Amino acid sequence: MRWRSGLSLTLGLSLGAAAMLVVPSGPAGAFDIASHRAVYKMTLGKTASGSTVVDAQGAMLMEWGDSCEGWTVEQRYRLNLRYNQGSESDIAVTFVTYEAKDGSSYRFFVERNRPMGGSENVSGRAERSGETGGLASFAQPAPEKIDLPKDFMFPTEHTLAILTAAESGKR
């Protein structure tokens, strides 16, 4: 599905930004993610040969919150793409998630707006089912359920696992 590639890009941006704001909180392997809000300017560094995109400009707002029971992430970005034939495209994406600290559940909502193409929403939740893995249930754009493997990780859980491994020298 087309929306999954956009969701992957958005998840990647969130995890990258989150990794910059993690602080040790005691014994080895224990980290806290500092609640924060930041705005990033985005520009196109370079393009591949034959690319139709000649320029990209935009901004991203990233807000990470730490509550007693979970983490919240809100990310908004707006990007203007300019193409080699002279046309332009504006993209606006809002990404909001909640992840339970006990690893039991994850909720997500993604809205992507394009002035010429309307909006596209993706929303749902994922639940861990003990030893059997979990289940992701999409409400939008259409109801769909996807079984998750027993070793899956939610995004913040994954970020913390990477940091713990890095601290102990693992790659």
pLDDT single digits (tens) 124-160: 999 999 788 999 999 999 999 999 999 999 999 998 8
According to the model, what pLDDT value does residue 134 have? 95
Task: Determine if residue 50 is left, alpha or beta; phi over 0 gives left, psi from -120 to 50 gives alpha, anything else beta.
Answer: left
Distance CA(169)–CA(171), nearest Å, equals 7
pLDDT at 32: 77
The pLDDT value given to residue 11: 42
What pLDDT, on the 0 to 100 scale, is given for residue 42?
95
Identify the segments of the chain with pLDDT beneath 70: 1-30, 115
**CB–CB of 53/81 below 8 Å?**
yes
Structural domain spans, the chain: 2-121+154-165
The pLDDT, as a whole number, for residue 14 is: 45
pLDDT at 76: 96
What is this structure's pTM? 0.73
Give the model's pLDDT for residue 117: 72
Instruction: Give the helix/strand (H/E) hosting 89.
Output: strand 88-100
SS3 of 41, please? strand
